[in-house]
Amino acid sequence: MAKRIDVSGLAAYYGTHLAIDDISMSIEPRSVTAFIGPSGCGKSTFLRTLNRMHEVTPGGRVEGKVLLDDEDLYGPGVDPVSVRRTIGMVFQRPNPFPTMSIYDNVAAGLKLNGNFKKAELDGIVEKSLKGANLWNEVKDRLNKPGSGLSGGQQQRLCIARAIAVEPQVLLMDEPCSALDPISTLAIEDLIGELKSQYTIVIVTHNMQQAARVSDRTAFFNLAAVGQPGKLIEIDDTERIFSNPTVQATEDYISGRFG
Amino acid sequence: MSIDSAPDTAAPPPAPAGKAATKQNLRPGDRVFLGLARGSGITLLVIMAAIAVFLTWQATKALTENEGNFLTTFEWDPNAEPPVFGIAVLAFGTVVSSVIAMVLAVPISIGIALFISHYAPRRVATPMAYVVDLLAAVPSIVYGLWGALFLVPHLTGLYEWMDAYLGWTGVFEYNGGAARSLFTAGILLAIMILPVVTNVSREVFKQSPKMHEEAALALGATRWEVIRISVLPFGRSGVISASMLGLGRALGETMAVATVLSPSFMIETSLLDPGGGTFAQNIAASFKEASPAGIGREALIASGLVLFVITLLVNGLARLIIARRKEYSGANA
């Protein structure tokens, strides 16, 4: 598990609109990389290019290379469906399947991947829920609908669902922005535990959060509205928050804009 | 409407709880609207009650004079002395033709609805949705004419084929002759309910939340799997409602069935043989001949009452199915 990602010369379009341009970076395995930047700078779009979710949007199109270890995700003959099975994603708003029980939510990805025996499924569901620090709260009501949980629990359920299929990489698109501070803390603790096994990429609007959870931080910005978003710099989180090389990064972090 | 657009600051302080808003502090606009809305609601109840009372009253008149068993008699002769009539054949024909229509139409409708909402590119989906709408606008007598003049002569081939492969069941035995059977009526009804089931299903599928579709995609679901695990479960109750709308139309459809069916007061073992009848078809066919002197009309009204009850039962059942899985519905997402 946990592979490294190398992006080179990546650009993403919505129809004819160039949303992000010329992004190159390396994302280390077993670490947390945070994407920060003002709204509209394309950090979420970039995140979605990493598991080929961007092209799901009508008109979405990507140019450039994304290497997962040595395999080009945008190479000819690569099936986006299998890419998404190896790169999991957690969304901004908790989105457990409302028509499924807690158990079925966690098992959903496994059932897509193939046939599992009931006992095997039980084991993986328990392991995933434990991995998402949710097991103790839901073990007595696995057959209740997932939508009955609190927002923070739902988000951890979504994380359990994502890690149940044992992905190489876990992408998180502002996973705490819809949660209260206590639930946020629970998710942040969880991210700290998960990074020993997974490559984690997290988009966040909360700079304190980036500083707390991440090992590396990438700052994105756009020159003006309508201009494509670009990667300004990526470095160790400590460095970005103490002594960034680019002036714009410092301005953003110190709250002078954004 | 200066009252409606008055700024909020001019309003009296809001009552602590919703229920405490008594008539005194209602603004004139609110009071008028309350009256209109309440009046509309009461009107509906009054009309429903009037229909029910009328049907029951008239039906009772006929039923007390009926010498046959109303539920089991295979005969419709309310003007005889003594009058003998029963709804067995009509109930059978109505239910069977509607079930055939549902079995044929619902899967196809779901397919069309999914194609329009999730597969077809927009430049195909929009005209296609329009064509489905057009199909709903065709008057039922036109369907009936088309059924009688085109469908009936062209179905004999299908019937021979069904006889060859499914004839052993007895239900699909075909003995030649015009295809003016309950099965033909069912096919025609299927075409007629297709648009309403398709349209309602399509609207429901379209509202399937993007975030759940994306959740499925991100787990590595193919397009069909996305539909299976996020769109169809979300649309389940909507599709059931859509089917019930369709079933309601199929149960009550009159002219189209009357035009293609060759009626008789017999229950044929084979659905492909001509004969049988439905409540609505029988009312349309017999109403003119039912003299006001006897109890012919009242007998027809009694049969209409049964149709009314069947429709109510079907709707109740559908609601039960929807309610049973309420906590899993997409509504509380």
* Model confidence pLDDT, tens digit, residues A148-196: 899 999 999 999 999 999 899 999 999 998 888 888 998 999 999 999 9
Q: Is the pLDDT of residue B4 over 70?
A: no
In a domain, B156, yes or no: yes
Q: Which residue from A81, A100, A147 is facing B332, i.e. has the nearest CB?
A: A147
pLDDT at A258: 63
Residue B211 near chain A (CB below 8 Å): yes
Helices (H), chain B: 2-5, 28-65, 88-114, 122-137, 140-146, 152-166, 182-206, 210-218, 223-226, 232-252, 255-260, 279-286, 296-324
CB of B208 within 8 Å of a chain A CB? The answer is no
- What single letter denotes the amino acid at residue A17? H
Q: Which domain holds residue B254?
A: 88-328
Check whether B322 has a pLDDT greater than 60. yes
**Partners of residue A91 in chain B, C-beta under 8 Å:** 211, 214-215, 218
Q: Give domain status of residue B67, yes or no.
A: no
Q: Do A91 and B332 touch (CB under 8 A)?
A: no
Give the one of B214, B236, B325 whose C-beta lies nearest to A91's C-beta.
Answer: B214
Q: How far is B262 from chain A (nearest CA, A)?
A: 46
Residue A132 · residue A156 · CB < 8 Å: yes
pLDDT above 90 covers what percent of chain B?
52
pLDDT given for residue B10 in this prediction = 43
What is the tens place of the pLDDT at every residue in B237-262?
Answer: 889 989 998 998 999 999 999 999 98
Task: Please write the tens of the pLDDT for every residue from B200-223.
Answer: 999 999 999 999 999 999 998 999
Residue B307 included in any domain: yes
Q: Which residues on chain A are in Cβ contact (under 8 Å) with B225?
A: 112
Q: Of B218, B330, B332, which has the smallest distance from its Cβ to A51's Cβ?
A: B218
Give bridge partners of residue A90 from the DSSP assignment.
Answer: A172
Q: pTM for the whole thing?
A: 0.81
Q: Give the closest-approach CA distance of A251 to chain B in angstroms.
A: 34
| Residue B208 C-alpha, separation from nearest chain A C-alpha, in angstroms | 11
Q: What confidence score (pLDDT) does residue B22 get?
A: 56
Q: pLDDT at residue B75 above 60?
A: yes
The answer to whether residues A35 and A237 touch, using CB atoms and an 8 Å cutoff, is: no
Q: Which of B269, B131, B99 minimizes the C-alpha distance to B199?
A: B131
Contacts with B123 from chain A: Cβ below 8 Å: none
**For A158, nearest residue in chain B (alpha carbons):** B215
Which of B118, B122, B219 is best to mutate for the A interface (most A CBs within 10 A)? Answer: B219
Q: Could you tell me the pLDDT band of residue B327, with boundaries at 50, 70 and 90?
A: low
Is A56's CB within 8 Å of B220's CB? no
Q: Is the Cβ of B205 closer than 8 Å to some Cβ of chain A?
A: no
Residue B11 confidence (pLDDT) above 70: no
Nearest to B328 among A53, A85, A98 (CB): A98
Q: What is the pLDDT of residue B171?
A: 86
In the block, tokens 């139409």 appear at B105
- Residues of chain A in contact with residue B214, where contact means CB-CB under 8 angstroms, are 53, 56, 91, 95
Residue B13 in domain: no
For B224, name the nearest residue in chain A, comparing CA atoms only: A112
The verdict on residue B193 lying in a domain is yes
B211, B230, B328: residue with CB nearest A145: B328
Q: Find chain B residues with C-beta within 8 A of A93's C-beta.
A: 211
pLDDT of amino acid B8: 43
A60-68 and A71-72 as β-strands: parallel, antiparallel, unpaired? Answer: antiparallel
The token pair at B216 is 């499925």
Residue B16 lies in a domain: no
Residue B132 resides in a domain: yes
Of A53, A99, A161, the CB nearest to B328: A99
d(CA A128, CA A122): 10
Closest CA–CA distance from residue A59 to any residue of chain B (Å) = 12
Q: What CATH code is carried by the domain that includes residue B306?
A: 1.10.3720.10
* Predicted pLDDT at B24: 65
pLDDT of residue B328: 60
**B329 interfacial to chain A (CB closer than 8 Å):** yes
Q: Does B229 touch chain A (CB under 8 A)?
A: yes
pLDDT tens readout for residues B105-122: 999 999 999 999 999 988
Mean pLDDT of chain A: 91
- How far out from the chain centre does Cα A4 lie? 14
All residues of chain B having their beta carbon less than 8 Å from the beta carbon of residue A148 are 327
| Portion of chain A with pLDDT greater than 90, in percent | 70
Of the candidates B214, B219, B234, which has its C-beta nearest A99's C-beta? B234
pLDDT of residue B268: 83
Whether B288 maps to a domain, the answer reads yes
Compute the distance between CA of residue A238 and CA of residue B185 in angstroms, rounded to an integer: 76
Q: Number of folded domains in chain B? A: 1
**How many beta carbons lie within 10 A of that of residue B293, not counting itself?**
8
The pLDDT, as a whole number, for residue B169 is: 87
